[in-house]
Amino acid sequence: MRRRFTVLIGIAIVVIAGVVAPAGSAQARPHRSKVADLVAQLTLDEKISLLHGATDPAGQGQSGYLPGVPRLGIPELRLTDGAAGIRMAKPALAMPAPVALASAFDPALARQYGAAIGRDGRALGMDVLLGPTLNTIRVPYNGRNFETYSEDQLLTARTVAADITGIQSQGMIATAKHFAVNNQETDRDTVNVNVGEQALHEIELPGFAAAVKAGAGAIMCAYNQVNGAPSCGNTELLQTVLREQLHFTGWVMSDWSATHSTDSITKGLDQEMPDGTYLGDALKKAVQDGTIPMSAVDQSVTRILTVLDRFKLLGPHPRPRPTRDPAGGAAVAQRVAEQGAVLLRNTGSTLPLRGRDASDIAVIGPTAQTPKVSGGGSGKGHPAYAAPPLDAIRTRAHGSVTYSPGGELFGRPIPSAALDPALPMSSDGTATLPLYTGYSGTIDVPEDGDYRISASVADDSLVALYVDDRSAVGGAFGFGPAELPVHLTKGSHQLGIYPLLGPDPMPVKLGWVTLAATRSLIAQAVTAASHARTAVVFAYDDETEGLDRPSLSLAGYQDELITRVAKANPNTVVVLNTGSAITMPWLSSVRSVLDMWYPGQEGAAATAALLFGDAAPGGRLSQTFPASEQATPVGGNPSRYPGVNGQETYSEGIDVGYRWYDAYHVAPLFPFGFGLTYTSFAYNGLSVRAGAGGGLDVSVSVRNTGSRAGAAVPQVYVGTSSRVTEPQAVRALAGFDKVTLRPGESRRVHIRIDPAQLSYWDVGAHAYRLGGGARTI
């Protein structure tokens, strides 16, 4: 039974936008004199060399490099992507996607996740992590949702603070990105995001405020414009908000080629990446002719050196690097995969599989055999090895396990006759193409449908693939094949294949997945399912940086695959390897749905452990799953998404994510915070008291009423204040905890509600105020 509590909150006004770091915290006062001393000794050229990226003479496939100033003990810095694990030429630990981490609702685990990545990165010779990504999940289509955390600002803030603390505990500098409101990939380089002050402060900024408070060394400004000015040349964002309101003392670097002018340095940008188009020679000239004051250069240099000093990287004896810890990292990866996995449906307690259900299984789906470790782009994992979930199931099942792909990822060789002009290819579909000029022509498709076109090259090469107006890059640095899932009408379509890096000429293997091939694979899977006691279907979506998903459906014909398998075998379990919300037209016909997200290198072990009950799913949704494409906060509203004439507008204000569903009484498929496990819990004895400093102390007793151990995630939501005239959320997450309980075990859980969670952004006063009066808890 749900009890509602109403508490009276004082009307004290608190300004909490300016987060003052406690003494002794990571943001403590810098050693001015040492850094000022260094700045005084640097020549203008040396200063400028710290303000833009360069080519690494000992490049290791990482994203960025700064040469440092060796004569003064300023080290070279290697900057690497790695929101979910280091992305460079060498393989590295590949953790579950950050969306899985957030779904674990467990800051202590997020700290371990960050520490595992930070240690791996430092041990691999890297110094600055280009992550975490913490933009709000506002648009369910966003190709980078897997790489970020949540639609809710408190969950984001708690997760990012712990993740950054973990990363930096290993001496790796974290870069919170992308500042700000970088919530879609469509037109990301040009789109202007029109966002009001309240939504900016209440929805997008709390995560960045938490990152600053946790001591993030750097912040990366975004590709998009915000309220008319590029993020990386935006005085309002970079000076007023970041420096004056959030008290950020680290340095701001641009996203890759997101700098648009030399005077950005006077608007809050400190460093241009990956090169010096604007903050290189042009900056030197501007300083020499007096257009840009030397003080601006000194200020940025000081910010960078202050962080390096804080991380003990300056001088003749910089902090030593740790060694790698593959086993420790793998253990954290598996735990996050299990704790972040969300059990969405479990009719008749089908999971965990037991008895005959567990020993006569038809495993279906290409990602059962080719593990879907991560999404694509800079958040892509690059592990030394990731086991197929199918193998882990076979090991654990002790019985009959059959496998049918039910679909293809790479597909079959594209027949030469489908291309115009013809392209000579070997029998496995490999063509040899000249660097840069490559191939451009057309591809003829036999019927309307969803296709998947791929180009794969060796690990030291890079290739770009174009089909009509869509493009993908693949090859080196763990990118994997360049793949394009595309819906094509019967007839001719533009095709471009351009080798960008590697041998000249370059062997490029071309593949396509066609409707005819898919039909026969679906038929085989249906037969396999009908002969087994249990069907376990692995389904995936394609999320990647650079592209939004064209729809919320599973990629290709997987909806049809699941529908037909479930018809042939009612005991069907669906395992999702997806990065964000999807629609599930087949939901009512399957027994169980287990969302593993992109589970990282230990996904196979985690999936098998959960399917067979060696572990219990510990996740809750960090985002709402909509009932249909139309019923989302951006559905049918192109000015919200993807924007009209280059303008994207946050006209929903603070009604992002579950706030919108609540405000407009729209029933989702699965709400934010939802997730089942293999046991059940009873909550009682809710008590709410005034806490220290204007907050609340909430406590509740939680009891495990089932027969297995499991983790409960008590979540406290706070209702509106009658004293506030600004828009407010019907209810907003104000606190949570996670407790693992044995069968029958009971625990009193205490959750502190910070005054920040009871406050709103007062647009007139440009400050947070406590929302006083009666509030429902």
Binding footprint of ligand BGC on the chain (CB under 6 A): 63, 81, 130, 177, 255-256, 378
Backbone angles phi, psi at 103, to 5 degrees: -70, -15
Specify whether the CB–CB gap between 537 and 554 falls below 8 A.
Answer: no
**Beta carbon nearer to ligand BGC, 118 or 406:** 118
**Beta carbon nearer to ligand BGC, 128 or 716:** 128
**Beta carbon nearer to ligand BGC, 225 or 632:** 225
Please give the full DSSP string across 1-12, using - where no structure is assigned: -----EEEE---
Cα R_g (the chain), whole angstroms: 26
Q: How far apart are CA 179 and CA 253, in angstroms?
A: 10
**Beta carbon nearer to ligand BGC, 273 or 584:** 273
Indicate the Cα dihedral angle 669, 672, 678, 682, nearest 10°.
-110
Please give the full DSSP string across 41-86, using - where no structure is assigned: H--HHHHHHTSB----TT--S-SEEE--BGGGTB--EEEEE-BTB-
**Beta carbon nearer to ligand BGC, 204 or 255:** 255
- The secondary structure of 83-108, three-state, reads ECECECCCCCCCCCCHHHHHHCCCHH
Residue 641: both structure tokens together: 């998404």
Q: Cα–chain-centroid distance for residue 612?
A: 28
CA-based nearest residue to 191, from 157, 130, 137, 142: 142
Minimum distance, C-beta of residue 222 to ligand BGC, in the bound complex (Å): 8
CA-based nearest residue to 537, from 523, 553, 526, 551: 526
Name the active-site residue from 81, 255, 309, 357.
Answer: 255
Angle at 525 between CA 522 and CA 526, to 5 degrees: 85
Angle at 774 between CA 772 and CA 777, to 5 degrees: 105
**Beta carbon nearer to ligand BGC, 79 or 314:** 79
Q: How far apart are CA 19 and CA 242, in angstroms?
A: 11
**Beta carbon nearer to ligand BGC, 126 or 130:** 130
**Beta carbon nearer to ligand BGC, 52 or 769:** 52
Minimum distance, C-beta of residue 130 to ligand BGC, in the bound complex (Å): 4
Indicate the Cα dihedral angle 412, 417, 419, 422, nearest 10°.
120
- The neighbour count for residue 518, using CB atoms within 10 Å, is 24
Q: How far apart are CA 86 and CA 142, in angstroms?
A: 22
User: How do 6-9 and 773-776 pair as beta strands?
Assistant: antiparallel
Q: How far apart are CA 49 and CA 62, in angstroms?
A: 19
Minimum distance, C-beta of residue 69 to ligand BGC, in the bound complex (Å): 23
Q: Could you check whether the bond before residue 180 is cis, i.e. omega within 30 degrees of 0?
A: yes
Specify whether the CB–CB gap between 221 and 234 falls below 8 A.
Answer: yes
Q: H or E element: which one contains 390?
A: helix 389-397
**Beta carbon nearer to ligand BGC, 122 or 177:** 177
Specify whether the CB–CB gap between 51 and 270 falls below 8 A.
Answer: yes
Minimum distance, C-beta of residue 480 to ligand BGC, in the bound complex (Å): 16
SS3 687: strand
- The neighbour count for residue 477, using CB atoms within 10 Å, is 22
Specify whether the CB–CB gap between 246 and 205 falls below 8 A.
Answer: yes
Q: Is 255 a catalytic residue?
A: yes
CA-based nearest residue to 256, from 271, 268, 242: 271
Q: H or E element: which one contains 576?
A: strand 572-577
Residue 239: both structure tokens together: 């000076």
The single residue listed with the structure tokens 């008895």 is 355
Q: How far apart are CA 415 and CA 26, in angstroms?
A: 59
**Beta carbon nearer to ligand BGC, 256 or 678:** 256
**Beta carbon nearer to ligand BGC, 130 or 210:** 130
Whole-Å CA distances, 774 to 662, 721, 758? 19, 6, 11
Q: How far apart are CA 50 and CA 632, in angstroms?
A: 44
Sign for the CA dihedral angle at 409, 412, 418, 420 comes to positive
According to DSSP, residue 242 is labeled I
Minimum distance, C-beta of residue 543 to ligand BGC, in the bound complex (Å): 14
Q: How far apart are CA 542 and CA 545, in angstroms?
A: 10
Minimum distance, C-beta of residue 134 to ligand BGC, in the bound complex (Å): 11
Residue 470: both structure tokens together: 């869509």
- The neighbour count for residue 502, using CB atoms within 10 Å, is 19
SS3 381: coil
Q: How far apart are CA 455 and CA 679, in angstroms?
A: 46
As annotated, the active-site residues are: 255
